[in-house]
């Protein structure tokens, strides 16, 4: 799906950034709203759906399994749910593209079906570890075959699932969500305990769709045997997509940006706290609620940043935002130390190694550690970096180019469409100097 055509970017220094930046809908909420709408009873209306390759891949898989999904307009989906037992098997593989969230959550959802399924992905997704979900699902009675822990995943149907009490060895919202989705089909209770709280989108949305569930930070429990009722969902703007603009406006002198109606789930906004600890000037206005999620307008002014020792308690709440944080640290005065983030090594790329290689190529002082990095702030030089097809790496270096001493060429950026379609146009609209070269 993605990466078929090579796409490089060139990011150049600018004077300042200004304007309103309306970022696309939250990817995590879009995935989950589509899945729960598909297995609910009745018709759900989703607004603000992310028109990215990842979320479209999830929708295409569900359509392949017999769910009627209409798209009256961009960002809008009407999903005619088939109920908990209404999905139909497909003789063809289910292509998740680059969507790790889609594959992991769908594996949990499919573990309790009566039919066999095969989940495949692109080259990047095919290298991402899946034992973290297949092992606990096996404890529930699922049978899932893999390629030594990697996709494709063959999910065997007709298995009787039973609830378990599972303590996650590493905090992961995706693993937790996969187990809870399998728990819908299991006999008895499914209980998940995390070492650190992660985002609770799945728990909140299950409750919104009428499934009895008990949850608190780091804990979730549900019983099998209930039903999901269709409901309408308004997807908030994606905080992870906002991250690049929060960092960009913080580091470019004279900048002021407003990002309206951004999702502010406290299990997602660790970067906001981290940037504030570094001295960033970010305010929240117009707080409210959208689709059961806290939202607000983020107003960010340029401010001089300083290095910090990042509190490890923030790590699970900002795991997708570390590439952007690394750029902020590269510009900040002094040293920034990141620990407890080994999860970064098994994302779309090894994000610690990929960011470190790129930053060194631009003259930034960075030392890799097994679970993080030590970054000494200073000037960012011009040059060329390779994103290794990782969308968040590409967008982070686009922000770096705004304050670099020369242009930065960013290679292999096609996968940005997986999470942030229209990024170049939106970025240039508020003052970026970003061009493409094929």
Q: Distance (Å, rounded) from C-alpha 254 to C-alpha 418?
A: 31
281 annotated active-site: no
Single out the catalytic residue among 26, 200, 320, 390. Answer: 320
Q: Distance (Å, rounded) from C-alpha 380 to C-alpha 240?
A: 23
- List b or e across 100-113, with b for residues whose CB sees 16 or more CB atoms inside 10 angstroms: bbbbbbbbbbbbbb
Q: Maximum CA pair distance of the chain?
A: 61
Q: Distance (Å, rounded) from C-alpha 5 to C-alpha 22?
A: 27
Q: Are 306 and 258 in contact (CB under 8 A)?
A: no
Q: Distance (Å, rounded) from C-alpha 208 to C-alpha 297?
A: 24
Could you identify the residue written with the tokens 């002094």?
334
For the chain, the three-class secondary structure string (H helix, E strand, C coil) is CCCCCCCEEEEECCCCCEEECCCCECHHHHHHHHHHHHCCEEEEEEECCCCCHHHHHHHHHHHHCCCEEECCCCCEEEEEEECCCCCCCCCCCEECCCCHHHHHHHHHHHCCCCCCEEEECCCCHHHCCCHHHHHHHHHCCCCEEEECCEEEEEECCCCCCECCEEECCCCCHHHHHHHHHHHCCCECEEEEECCCCCCCHHHHHHHHCCCCEEEECCEEEEECCCCCECCCEECCECHHHHHHHHHHHHHCCCCEEEEEEEECCCCCCHHHHHHHHCCCEEEEEEEEEECCEEEEEEEEECCCCECCECCHHHHHHHCCCHHHHHHHHHHCECEEEECCCHHHHHCCCCHHHHHHHHHHHCCCEEEEECCEEEEECCCCCCEEEECCCCHHHHHHHHHHHHHCCCCEEEECCHHHHHCCCCHHHHHHHCCCEEEEEC
Catalytically annotated residues: 320
């Amino acid at each position: 799906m993605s990466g078929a055509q090579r796409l490089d970017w060139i990011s150049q220094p600018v004077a300042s950034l200004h304007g309103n930046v309306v970022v696309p809908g939250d990817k995590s909420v879009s995935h989950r709203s589509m899945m729960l709408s598909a297995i609910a009873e009745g018709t759900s209306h989703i607004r603000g759906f992310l028109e990215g390759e990842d979320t479209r891949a999830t929708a295409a898989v569900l359509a392949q399994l017999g769910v009627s999904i209409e798209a009256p307009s961009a960002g809008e989906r009407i999903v005619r749910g088939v109920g908990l037992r209404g999905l139909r098997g497909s003789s063809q593989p289910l292509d998740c593209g680059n969507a790790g969230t889609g594959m992991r959550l769908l594996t949990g959802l499919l573990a309790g079906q009566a039919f066999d399924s095969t989940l495949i992905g692109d080259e990047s997704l095919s290298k991402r570890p899946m034992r973290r979900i297949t092992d606990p699902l096996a404890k529930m009675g699922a049978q899932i075959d893999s390629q030594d822990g990697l996709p494709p995943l063959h999910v065997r149907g007709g298995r009787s699932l039973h609830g378990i009490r599972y303590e996650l060895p590493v905090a992961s919202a995706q693993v937790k969500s996969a187990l809870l989705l399998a728990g819908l089909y299991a006999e008895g209770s499914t209980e998940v305990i995390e070492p650190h709280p992660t985002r609770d989108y799945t728990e909140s949305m299950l409750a919104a769709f009428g499934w009895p569930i008990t949850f608190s930070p780091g804990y979730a429990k549900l019983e099998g045997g209930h039903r999901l009722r269709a409901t309408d969902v308004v997807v908030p703007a994606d905080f992870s997509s906002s991250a690049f603009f929060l960092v960009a406006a913080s580091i470019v002198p004279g900048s002021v940006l407003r990002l309206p109606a951004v999702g502010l789930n406290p299990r997602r906004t660790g970067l906001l706290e981290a940037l504030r600890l570094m001295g960033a000037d970010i305010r929240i206005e117009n707080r409210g609620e959208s689709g059961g999620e806290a939202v607000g307008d983020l107003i960010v002014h340029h401010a001089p940043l300083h290095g910090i020792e990042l509190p490890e308690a923030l790590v699970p709440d900002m795991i997708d935002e570390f590439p952007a944080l690394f750029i902020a640290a590269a510009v900040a005065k002094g040293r920034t130390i990141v620990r407890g983030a080994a999860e970064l090594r098994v994302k779309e790329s090894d994000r610690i190694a990929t960011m470190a290689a790129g930053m060194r190529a631009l003259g930034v002082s960075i030392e890799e550690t097994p679970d993080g990095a030590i970054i000494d702030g200073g000037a960012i030089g011009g040059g060329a970096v390779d994103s290794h097809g990782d969308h968040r790496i590409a967008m982070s270096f686009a922000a770096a180019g705004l304050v670099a001493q020369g242009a930065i060429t960013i290679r292999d950026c096609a996968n940005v469409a997986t999470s942030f379609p229209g990024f170049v146009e939106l970025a240039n609209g508020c003052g970026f100097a970003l061009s493409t070269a094929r």
